[in-house]
Chains A and B, each alone.
Chain A
């Protein structure tokens, strides 16, 4: 049994983000981190490894520096890593990205008792699309928003969160799950894990490696393979100095404030 975990290296958008004078984001100012939901997926896989002794393989699509992130995940206890990297893959939207990752997972091979795990969404794109799209390309059943995972034989019981409660869903392996932060507390790298990390196997899959997969050809990857395009991007106007409400009386002030909050979708 093995678990394949998809992870992404992302800029840390939860901290202070700098904006350039021309209104574009200063990406260099942001630290890169492992996407938080993906760490929950890694932890879920490692917990199952503790219980069953299965193998955990971590996969990412990214530029060469993403190896550092993979090594950190190996230091947490994963067994093998795969870096999917190539110029040809650049510019991919979620659709093209899921094709590429699905091809990579096909190459690793999904057996009857395997599980593919993803984080719910990445904090840069915020789309939550790649997980389900990989499941579609691999023809695997999916269960998203997993807040609790329990495996018995080849049946997985998932507590799948809704906004106002949850559904309990049963699914057979092989399947794909997307994980949320309520699922677990990701473990830290261990000291011995760090010293073992660079001796664990890491493979690089490039375009040559994957091009024979039916999902991959020049029209299905990169910009050519992306059904969506960006028309414009912009930063919202920066928070200026605060404003004092001065409409005359308390009632008018409150009504003005409420309408401002509503207009900005804050309430």
Chain B
């Protein structure tokens, strides 16, 4: 077991950190207040290869590994939860399923633009009636000659208003239950496809979240991803990978909150000394650091397993569960350490706390993660 990063991973972490400090951090507050999608940041990240980190060069990726990708999301999240999830959803929920399940033609057609960041990707599984119970899909796909006709709607879709390429799930055989769900690659300008209004949220307010609406949407036959009926499996496998991304986002949020709290408590003077000198402050930060460190190991281990093509589903579930709950806990404590100032929007910790909450919910709630882990225990 080697706990050391490779020299390339160390160089990458340095680059991610500089990029996050110089390009992402200055915008974080503004995009949260204005609920603005930071397109200019996406363009910069695209140029540096950050939108397709672990895909092979032959498909336009940067030729890196899964851990390098996880570290990218982590470093971004330290300064901005929104920017981190943009990369995560795009990479794990759109690039990845096409890479893992697509035909050669589909990979060659869609991956280069996605990995280069020229196009942004999204994933459409959740519906008003199908959240944790993902099998309750109502969106239908009927084969008519050389195309499918999709009808229905999706909700809470990350990157929904800015993406060009969507991996979407629909029922091709209502009678077959889970085995009647199929996956499709849908392009923004397919007829009958529209996006809803931007969803206002508690946190990651700059992240684009909206409904996807299919009204007799025409999807060419060649855009079926994988085989008919294999959609549910594809969705679950995709979410396994996505969990590593969200776990990294949660991890970064926790680490960023700790950095801010350490800095502030050294400056804030009460009772004649910096509050960092009080044992309560020190003990709180010790607990926070301990949990964040443990979360990092769990997240990195899951990423390594995926990279080595070992079964990693339970590891990813543990990583997401633990990191998300750590993020909520740590950010809440950080706000408390800041006192009144932490509750104001002058300081970033209240935003980090608001951002952290969603990591316990999307891409499989903490309850779902527990189901996965319990199943893996044979229960």
Contact = CB atoms under 8 A, between A and B. Distances in A.
Contacts of B63: 191-192, 195
A190 B8 contact: no
Contacts of A138: none
A191 B50 CA distance: 7
Nearest to B62: A191
A188 B19 contact: yes
A148 interface: no
Interface in B6-23: 7-8, 11-12, 14-15, 18-19
A197 interface: yes
B47 A75 contact: no
Interface string A186-200: 001111111101100
B47 A192 contact: no
A8 interface: no
B53 interface: yes
A71 interface: yes
Contact of A194 (B11, B19, B57): B11
B192 interface: no
A115 to B, nearest CB: 25
A191 B7 contact: no
Given A188-B18, A191-B48, A191-B68, A71 B62 contact: no
Contacts of A198: 7-8
A191 B18 contact: no
Contacts of B68: 191
Interface string B14-52: 110011000000000000000000000000000111100
B8 A188 contact: no
A217 interface: no
A190 B11 contact: no
Nearest to B9: A194
A50 to B, nearest CB: 12
Interface in A191-244: 191-195, 197-198
Contacts of B11: 71-72, 75, 189, 194, 197
B53 A190 contact: no
Contacts of A195: 8, 62-64
Interface residues of A, number: 13
Nearest to A185: B22
Interface string A56-90: 00000000000000011001000000000000000
Interface of B is mostly: helix
Nearest to B47: A190
A152 B213 CA distance: 54
Nearest to B8: A194
Contacts of A191: 12, 15, 48-50, 53, 62-64, 68, 72
A72 B57 CA distance: 20
Contacts of B14: 72, 189
Contacts of A189: 11-12, 14-15, 48
A110 B198 CA distance: 58
A198 to B, nearest CB: 7
A193 B15 CA distance: 11
Nearest to B64: A191
Contact of B49 (A71, A190, A197): A190
A197 B9 CA distance: 12
A194 B9 CA distance: 8
A113 B50 CA distance: 35
Nearest to A196: B63
A190 B47 CA distance: 8
A160 to B, nearest CB: 28
A72 B48 CA distance: 14
B18 A194 contact: no
Contacts of B7: 71, 198
* Highest count of chain B CB atoms <10 Å: which of A189, A194, A197: A194
A194 B48 CA distance: 10
A159 B369 CA distance: 61
B210 to A, nearest CB: 29
A195 B12 CA distance: 9
Nearest to A75: B11
Interface in A168-200: 188-195, 197-198
Interface in B262-311: none
A31 to B, nearest CB: 11
Nearest to A72: B11
A192 B15 contact: no
- Residue in B47, B48, B72 whose Cβ sees the most chain A Cβ within 10 Å: B48
Interface string A89-116: 0000000000000000000000000000
Contacts of B50: 191
Contacts of A71: 7, 11
A195 B11 CA distance: 9
Contact of A190 (B18, B48, B57): B48
Nearest to B54: A191
A194 B65 CA distance: 12
Nearest to B19: A188
A156 B14 CA distance: 34
15 contacts: A72-B14, A75-B11, A188-B18, A188-B19, A190-B47, A191-B50, A191-B72, A192-B64, A193-B49, A194-B11, A194-B12, A194-B64, A195-B62, A197-B8, A197-B11
Closest 8 CB pairs of A and B: A191-B49, A191-B62, A192-B62, A189-B15, A190-B48, A194-B11, A190-B49, A192-B49
Given A190-B49, A194-B11, 17 more contacts: A72-B14, A188-B15, A188-B48, A189-B12, A189-B14, A189-B15, A189-B48, A191-B64, A191-B72, A192-B49, A192-B62, A192-B63, A195-B62, A195-B63, A195-B64, A198-B7, A198-B8
Interface of A: 71-72, 75, 188-195, 197-198
